[in-house]
A and B are shown apart, each in its own frame.
Chain A
C-alpha cells in the first residue's frame, strides 16, 4: 500500500513590502505641476532623500510589530488622478456648525473646489489648496511647513513630504475668532493608485477656529490603493482649535498618516477622531504641549469589521510645566478585524505639575476579532499626575437580558449596549452633527 503524503506550503512572503515604483523625477513633476517655488522643491527633495534612506518598516521595528504591511501591493500603485465619482452629499453637510464657514473639496488630480465667505477672507483668514498656498502665501507656508511634523519621522512621512500633491493650508490670524467651521473633504475614489496628502493648520495668538477634515472614498474591488498623509496643527500662545477628523476610506486603501498638534503657552486643542474605513491603517497621532499651561484633549472612536486592521499610535508629549492632556480612545471590533492602540505619555524633565490621562477601551463583538491595547508612561519629572487604563471586553449578557425584559429585541438591546459603550466618547464631542455622523457610522457597521 502506498501512502500519500500531502505537503502544504505556506506562501512565501518577503520580510518587507515591495518598493514603491516612484523616483526623483516624479517629485520634480509634482512640484512643477503645482508651479512651486524653488525652496518648496528643495524641501520635497530633502524628504525624498530621507525616503530613499529609510528602509520599509518590518515586523522587527517596534512601532510596526503588530501591523504587517508585507502584503501591501506597493509596487503596483501609480501616481494618477482620482476617479471622478460624484461626491456624496453627506460628506459636504455641515457637521460642526449650522452653516459652513468655508468648504474645501480636494480630489487628487482635479482642481480643488472652494466656498470661502468674503467675511472670512476680509479677516485675513487663509483657506487655500496646496498650489494656491505655495503661490500666494509662500512666506507663511515656508515658516510653518514641517515645523510640526518632520519628514524624518518615518518612511511614509518622508513619502508624503516628497510627493503630496493635494492638500490644504488654513491660517487664522492673531485674535480672529471663527464662529463657523472650516470643512475640508478629501475625496479620492479609485484603485491601483497612490495618493499623498497634507494639511497644515496654523492658529495664531489668541485666535480660535474649528476645522473638520474628512478623508473618504468608496471601496474599489478591482485594485488596492495606498494613501500617505501628514497633518500639522500649530497653535500659537492662547490659541484654541477644535479639530474634527473622520477617516472613512474604502476597504481597498492602505492608509498611513503622521499627525501632530503643537501647542504653545496656554493654547487649547480639542481633537475629535473617528475611524471606520480602510483595509489597513497605521496612524501616528501626537499632541505636543510645548508651552506652559497648554491643554490638549483627544477623543477617538474606531469601529472595524471584516478583515480591517486599524493601528493607532498616540503620544502625549508634556514638554512644559502645568500642561494637561486627556486622551480617550474607544473601539469596537467585529468579524476578523483587529485593532492596535499604543499610547504613550511622555513628561520631559522640568515639566512639573503635569496632568496626563489616557484610556483605551475595546469591545469585541465577534470571536475572531482581536484588540491589542498597550498604554505607556515615560515620566522624567517628579511632581506630576499621570494615569492610564486599557480594557478589552465582550458584550455582557446581563444588560442585554435586562433590556429584553422591557420588550426590546436582542438585536436592539445589543445595539443599545454598544451605543452605551461609545457614549463617554460621544459626550465629549461638542457638535451634534458629528455625533449623529458617528452614530450613522456605527449603524452601518452593525448592519453590514
Chain B
C-alpha cells in the first residue's frame, strides 16, 4: 500500500507554513543547473534523496549537475535545506530503463 507523500511528513509550527520533510528514497525534483539537449539550463531536475535529517537533504542525480558559477559537482550530489523552495516532490515517476523492462517481461 502506498501512502500519500503529501500527508506523510507535514510539520506545522505556530505562524509558519507547513513544510514537507523529505526522507531517504524519496523521488524529488531540484531546481539546479544541468544539461538538457546539450545546453546548460537552470530548471527542475529529478533525483533521489540519499541522505536526510531534520535540517538538510542530499539528492543524487543521474545527470551532471553544476554550481551557479559553472563548476560541475563530481559526485552529482546537491544539498538542500528541508522546506527550501528549490526542492519539491517529483511530479512524474522516473522512466524505467529498457533493461529493467525486458527483465520484467521475461
Contact = CB atoms under 8 A, between A and B. Distances in A.
Interface string A111-144: 0000000000000000000000000000000000
Given A412-B81, A416-B81, A419-B55, A407 B67 contact: yes
A258 B58 CA distance: 47
Given A405-B67, A405-B73, A89 B14 contact: yes
B17 to A, nearest CB: 13
Contacts of A416: 55-56, 81
Contacts of A405: 67, 71, 73
Contact of A408 (B15, B65, B79): B79
B19 to A, nearest CB: 12
A436 B13 contact: yes
B55 A406 contact: no
A392 interface: no
Interface in B84-99: none
Interface in B34-83: 55-56, 58, 65, 67, 71, 73, 77-81
A420 to B, nearest CB: 9
B15 A90 contact: yes
A407 B31 CA distance: 10
A419 B79 CA distance: 16
A407 B81 contact: no
Given A412-B81, A416-B81, A419-B55, A407 B32 contact: yes
Interface residues of B, number: 17
Contacts of A90: 14-15
B14 A93 contact: yes
Interface in B9-29: 13-16
A406 B15 CA distance: 30
Nearest to A92: B14
A82 interface: no
Contacts of B79: 403, 406-408
B69 to A, nearest CB: 9
A176 interface: no
A405 B75 CA distance: 11
Contacts of B71: 405
A383 to B, nearest CB: 42
Contacts of A178: none
B78 A407 contact: yes
Most buried by B among A403, A408, A440: A408
Contacts of B13: 436
Nearest to A408: B79
Contact of A407 (B14, B16, B65): B65
A440 B14 CA distance: 10
Interface string A365-400: 000000000000000000000000000000000000
A313 B65 CA distance: 51
A406 B77 contact: yes
A135 B52 CA distance: 56
A403 B77 CA distance: 12
A348 interface: no
A384 B43 CA distance: 62
A403 to B, nearest CB: 7
Contact of A406 (B14, B16, B78): B78
A79 interface: no
A99 to B, nearest CB: 13
Contacts of A408: 79-81
Nearest to B32: A407
Nearest to A415: B81
A404 interface: yes
Given A412-B81, A416-B81, A419-B55, A404 B14 contact: no
A336 to B, nearest CB: 30
Contacts of B14: 89-90, 93, 433, 436
16 contacts: A89-B15, A90-B14, A90-B15, A93-B15, A403-B79, A405-B71, A406-B58, A406-B78, A407-B32, A407-B65, A407-B67, A412-B81, A416-B55, A433-B14, A436-B14, A440-B15
Given A407-B32, A407-B67, A419-B55, 5 more contacts: A90-B15, A93-B14, A93-B15, A407-B78, A436-B14
Interface of A: 89-90, 93, 403-408, 412, 416, 419, 433, 436, 440
